[in-house]
Structure 1
Amino acid sequence: MYAYQCIYLADVYLCEAGKLLVVPMDGSHWFTMRSVVEKLIERGHELVVVMPEVSWQLGQSLNCTVKSYKTSYTLEDIDRAMKDFAGTHWTVRDDNMVSLWMGSGYNFFELVFSHCRSLFNDKKLVEYLKESSFDAVFVEPFDMCGLIVAKYLSLPSVVFTRAVFCHYLREATQCPNPLSYVPLNFVSSSDVMTFKERVWNHITHFQERLFCHHFFKSVLDFASEVFPEPVTLYDLFSHTSIWLIRTDFVFDYPKPVMPNMVYVGGINCHGGKPLSKATKPGSRTQHGYDPLT
């Protein structure tokens, strides 16, 4: 990462730890990001984690500086909204993106998006961030707050994500996107599509453009208050320096990627345990498991 500066001298790498601002997102997003944060701390980097006071998992027992700010919602509010959103998944088809995200999902993410306004309303915290001379910002991009902070502080950003909702990853990285060959999210097609499936893939692409702008409207409205000129989602996403894609390329269909898109597959997996030794060669438990149990 940008915060890790090394030089090669006399056949030895000499490295200097850096100062990193971390803007995480709550929930399952934090489970995987935390493992990287802990490893960065272990390697000597100075980290500052900025998080809302109301959260499920953020910042618990972190051995680094944690800065929190008040939110306009309570834990009960976000629990209720999340319960409604989760219930929608049982009644709406996965490929019906508009129905899935514009109902109770929209209400839930409006709460999530609102915490960035709370961050910037804390003038003392914003002043601290401006004066702290960070090397880079480590962000989870879905709630957009980390991207707004990075652009506001004019710092390089390192995005850590499983995927990016809508089409902004492809556009921000200027990555080729052949719609006739690469199926989009929420489209249950393979990379070998029929003519009808290719047409539907294009239709879904246009639906994304209409839907996603509306979905992130409150984010854009707030970002336009932070910056002197109106900004677009492309402005925020394209500011990213490195994309750490939290998956393995073998799980996705073949598609072009750009040099600053790095697959970090396996980050969600626990380390494997050594297999037990077999007592008899050829026994069904030879490889450490019994297929009949």
Structure 2
Amino acid sequence: LSASPPVVLLLLSLLGLAAAGKLLVVSVDGSPWLSVREILHLLQQKGHEVVVVAPEVSLHIKPSENFVMKMYSVPYTQEEMDNNLKAFLYSLFEEGSFVERFLKVYKHMKKIGNLSVSSCEHLLQNKELIRYLEESKFDALLTDPVFPCGVILAEHLSLPSVYFLRGVLCGLEFEATQCPNPPSYVPRGLTDNTDRMSFLQRVKNLLFDTQNLFLCDFAYDPFLKLASEFLQREVKVQDLLRKGSVWLLRLEFVLDYPRPLMPNIIPIGGVHCDHKGLPQ
């Protein structure tokens, strides 16, 4: 069953058993932030202290009375970020063969990935901000691991992490949580398959997994280089992701196909929607 907003609030409220907790938030910009923002508002009403770390250039992450905002500079402009994001979103809905669609998405993902890596690098190299975070004694960190900068920060600060996500590139959320992900049952992205597949569709589903052999390296190698330098040891993205205490998955089986879940993965699809009582 999907978790309702009060359940999500309850989970995040367990930062302190008796007293209010202190939460560090490193969110992905864009639509994920709109959902996070609503949760932070509820947490603030419950007396929890929330600190949000974000770059100076962003789409939606702006200062609010509901949390403390800590910003850091980045080397790209608002226009550059907006143009790259629009091009990526358009590429997702363009028609064509799988190869054509994949290459277009790959091209624009690389540009957005470069901006994310640059943002992460400037966060981790901001010694004054990192010192503030080290001295602030947070209880937990809330982040979206699709871009693992928050995951790296949680490891450095030795904080339990709560993941608020739709998914991770190349299905790493399955590997990190040791969750079953059978290609005969769970449809892969861009295949147009459902959870009811013929034999040939299952073969197609299996073949689509081969892209993960290089997609993960392309997406996460730059972050791993940053992580190794920052943490001063060699790390793997799977090892970092495994540290996640709770995975809040923005997934709803009414709209998505059913799939196996591990006990610490909680579907919260629709948490961003306005919930109103039905008329009598």
Could you say whether these structures have the same fold, taking a TM-score greater than 0.5 normalized by the shorter chain as the test?
yes
CA RMSD of aligned residues (A): 2.1
Q: Which residue of 2 aligns with 1:169?
A: 173
Give 1:244-263 correspondences, 5 Å limit: 244-263=248-267
What is the one-letter code of the residue matched to 2:243? Answer: H
Q: Which runs of structure 1 show a deviation greater than 6 angstroms over 4 or more consecutive aligned residues?
A: none
Please give the alpha-carbon distance, in whole angstroms, between the structure 2 residues aligned to 1:155 and 1:209: 30
Please give the alpha-carbon distance, in whole angstroms, between the structure 2 residues aligned to 1:44 and 1:250: 34
Q: Which residue of 1 aligns with 2:43?
A: 40
Confirm or deny: 8 A CA contact 1:20 1:45 kept in the other structure.
yes
1:224 aligns with 2:234: no
Give the C-alpha shift of residue 3 in structure 1: 5.4
53, 58, 67: which is aligned to 1:50? 53
C-alpha spacing 1:187/1:155, structure 2 compared with 1 (3 Å): same
Give 1:1-293 correspondences, 5 Å limit: 1=11, 4=14, 15-93=18-96, 96=99, 98-272=102-276, 274-275=278-279
Give the C-alpha shift of residue 92 in structure 1: 4.9
**SS of alignment partner, residue 216 of structure 1:** helix
Please give the alpha-carbon distance, in whole angstroms, between the structure 1 residues aligned to 2:136 and 2:16: 22
Percent of pairs identical after alignment?
39
- Quick one: higher RCO (CA 8 Å, sep 6+), 1 or 2? 2
Confirm or deny: 8 A CA contact 1:92 1:99 kept in the other structure.
no
Please give the alpha-carbon distance, in whole angstroms, between the structure 2 residues aligned to 1:25 and 1:6: 25
- Number of matched pairs: 269
CA deviation digits over 1:96-118, x for unaligned, max 9? 56313321231122112210111
What is the one-letter code of the residue matched to 2:187? Answer: P
Give the C-alpha shift of residue 76 in structure 1: 1.8
Q: Which has the larger radius of gyration?
A: 1
Unaligned runs of 5+ in 2: 1-10
**SS of alignment partner, residue 21 of structure 1:** strand
What is the one-letter code of the residue matched to 1:100? Answer: K
C-alpha spacing 1:196/1:24, structure 2 compared with 1 (3 Å): same
**SS of alignment partner, residue 118 of structure 2:** helix
Give the C-alpha shift of residue 127 in structure 1: 0.7
C-alpha spacing 1:200/1:156, structure 2 compared with 1 (3 Å): same
Please give the alpha-carbon distance, in whole angstroms, between the structure 1 residues aligned to 2:93 and 2:263: 39
How high is the TM-score relative to the length of structure 2?
A: 0.88
Q: Which residue of 1 aligns with 2:3?
A: none
How high is the TM-score relative to the length of structure 1?
A: 0.84
